[in-house]
């Protein structure tokens, strides 16, 4: 029997997260010949072409994809894995993922049996769907954090002064939100307040209780100190058709009005929201995050390291945080990494470019006939053992 092929990876520096990164969904084995045969003159062009017609070693094969409409998969008859009884996996012959942005429409189709399952169930509908005898409504443990992303650049895209560039204004906005009331109204008490910008299940998370406890008097004093004693006007993008976006912003709008912050809600479609967000043409938006890897380096690279994507497109930057983060990427000592990430969180959370709201589970509902679906805390949907009872 010949020795198995081996792959050698040479690094420029030590990497404490390499093994965890190699275990993630996006570190897949690709067929070299098929990739190299993909249209394109550069690796970037080939990668884009290959991603639109992928080949892999998973339980399902790619059939077709129409952006923002649907994706179809078929059973991979060459998949390597079998179940405990020796039966070949996966059980399903085919799968189709349909994009239905409107929450109400998606739930109606689920209840009518036009689709077998749905993610992103609004929390306001969870109790109703739990009571439906035809559905299996589950709240899966997650690493999801919900927050408002703020543009903290000195001027907005239209050239006007941006009040959220002032840390005192941002702090006033944090303190003026009653997180417990928000959680009760929006999630029906299935969530909990954030203690950091990271999920409490992220390694090296640091925080002593809920971030920025409710304090109206403090919020008013901070606004007055920043020169906004008469209040100020702010605008947030909201995803049209999203019950959760609407619930969050309408609740925050009412709470902020009590300290003089007047919130305008601007409903836009997903393409518009994404384009304006990435282009820095926004003042605020509803956001969420889930870890892809069981380590803080990913979330810090997005939220707090300006050189990646300008700290989640907020414009926030801090040299000390970037230096600590760069050092953490090659630090192999767990204790030293914990200290680095604690300091990063301490600096960032003093006046972050986000408004921390709550951590929440993944609400997913399926028809009762569907069995074996699993969603892991990193957000991956696992269908390898899923089946539909006849």
Is the separation of the CB atoms in 219 and 227 below 8 Å?
no
pTM for this prediction: 0.84
CATH number at residue 160: 3.10.105.10
Residues 253 and 354 in one domain: yes
Given pLDDT bands bounded at 50, 70 and 90, which one contains residue 24? confident
Using alpha carbons, select from 175, 254, 164, 253 the residue that is nearest to residue 220. 175
Burial 162-196 (b: 16+ CB within 10 A, else e): bbbbbebbbbbbbbbbbbeebbebbbeebbbbbbb
For residue range 26-79, what is the model confidence (pLDDT) as tens digits?
Answer: 787 788 899 999 999 999 999 999 988 888 888 999 999 998 899 999 999 999
Is the separation of the CB atoms in 226 and 168 below 8 Å?
yes
Residues 350 and 209 in one domain: yes
User: Residues 213-221: what's their mean pLDDT?
Assistant: 98
Given pLDDT bands bounded at 50, 70 and 90, which one contains residue 171? very high
Given pLDDT bands bounded at 50, 70 and 90, which one contains residue 189? very high
Greater confidence (195 vs 22) lies with: 195
Tell me how far apart the alpha carbons of residues 186 and 123 are, in angstroms, rounded to a whole number: 7
190 within some domain = yes
What does the pLDDT read at residue 1? 42
Q: Count up the domains in the chain and report the number.
A: 2
CATH number at residue 50: 3.40.190.10
Residues 336 and 381 in one domain: no
Residues 170 and 80 in one domain: no
Phi and psi (nearest 5°) for 245? Answer: -60, -45
| Share of residues in the chain with pLDDT > 90 (%) | 87
Residue 146, beta-bridge partner list: 288, 358
Q: Which domain holds residue 103?
A: 33-140+363-388
Phi and psi (nearest 5°) for 47? Answer: -60, -40
What's the angle, vertex CA 30, arms to CA 27 and CA 33, rounded to 5? 155
Residues 132 and 180 in one domain: no
Residues 125 and 193 in one domain: no
Residues 120 and 152 in one domain: no
Answer positive or negative: Cα dihedral of 278, 357, 296, 151: positive
Residues 376 and 339 in one domain: no
Using alpha carbons, select from 113, 130, 244 the residue that is nearest to residue 185. 244
Residues 258 and 236 in one domain: yes
288 within some domain = yes
Residues 159 and 86 in one domain: no
For residue range 121-141, what is the model confidence (pLDDT) as tens digits?
Answer: 999 899 999 999 999 999 999
Tell me how far apart the alpha carbons of residues 245 and 247 are, in angstroms, rounded to a whole number: 6
Residues 154 and 136 in one domain: no
Residues 184 and 96 in one domain: no
pLDDT at 114 over 80: yes
The two structure tokens encoding residue 133: 């005898």
305 within some domain = yes
How many CA atoms lie less than 13 Å away from 47 in the CB half-sphere? 4
The two structure tokens encoding residue 43: 């690796």
For the chain, what is the mean pLDDT?
A: 94
Greater confidence (383 vs 243) lies with: 383
């Amino acid at each position: 029997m010949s020795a198995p092929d081996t792959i050698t990876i040479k690094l420029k520096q030590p990497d404490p997260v390499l093994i965890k990164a190699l275990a993630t969904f996006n570190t897949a084995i690709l067929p070299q010949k098929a990739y190299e045969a993909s249209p394109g003159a550069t690796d970037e062009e080939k990668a884009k072409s290959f991603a639109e017609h992928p080949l892999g070693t998973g339980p399902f094969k790619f059939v077709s994809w129409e952006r923002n409409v649907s994706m179809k998969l078929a059973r991979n008859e060459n998949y390597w894995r079998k179940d405990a009884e020796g039966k070949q996996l996966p059980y399903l012959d085919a799968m189709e993922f349909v994009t239905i942005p409107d929450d109400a429409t998606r739930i109606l189709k689920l209840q009518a049996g036009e689709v077998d399952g749905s993610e992103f169930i609004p929390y306001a509908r969870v109790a109703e769907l739990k009571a439906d005898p035809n559905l299996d409504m589950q709240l899966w443990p997650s690493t999801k954090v919900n927050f408002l992303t703020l543009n903290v650049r000195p001027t907005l895209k239209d050239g006007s002064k941006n009040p959220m560039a002032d840390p005192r204004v941002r702090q006033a906005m944090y303190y003026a939100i009653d997180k417990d009331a928000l959680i009760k109204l929006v999630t029906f008490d299935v969530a909990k307040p954030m203690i950091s910008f990271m999920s409490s299940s992220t390694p090296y998370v640091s925080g002593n209780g809920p971030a920025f406890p409710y304090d109206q008097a403090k919020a008013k004093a901070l606004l007055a100190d920043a020169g906004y004693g008469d209040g100020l006007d702010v605008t947030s993008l909201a995803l049209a058709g999203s019950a959760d976006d609407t619930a969050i912003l309408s609740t925050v709008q009412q709470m902020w009005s009590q300290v003089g912050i007047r919130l305008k809600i601007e409903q836009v479609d997903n393409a518009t929201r994404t384009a304006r967000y990435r282009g820095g043409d926004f003042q605020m938006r509803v956001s969420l995050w889930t870890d892809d890897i069981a380590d803080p380096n990913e979330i810090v690279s997005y939220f707090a390291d300006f050189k990646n994507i300008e700290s989640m497109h907020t414009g926030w930057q801090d040299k000390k945080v970037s230096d600590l983060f760069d050092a953490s990427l090659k630090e192999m000592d767990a204790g030293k990494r914990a200290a680095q990430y604690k300091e990063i969180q301490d600096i960032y959370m003093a006046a972050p470019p986000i408004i921390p709201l709550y951590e929440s589970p993944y609400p997913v509902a399926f028809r009762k006939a569907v069995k074996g679906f699993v969603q892991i805390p990193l957000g991956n949907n696992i269908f390898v053992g899923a089946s539909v009872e006849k």
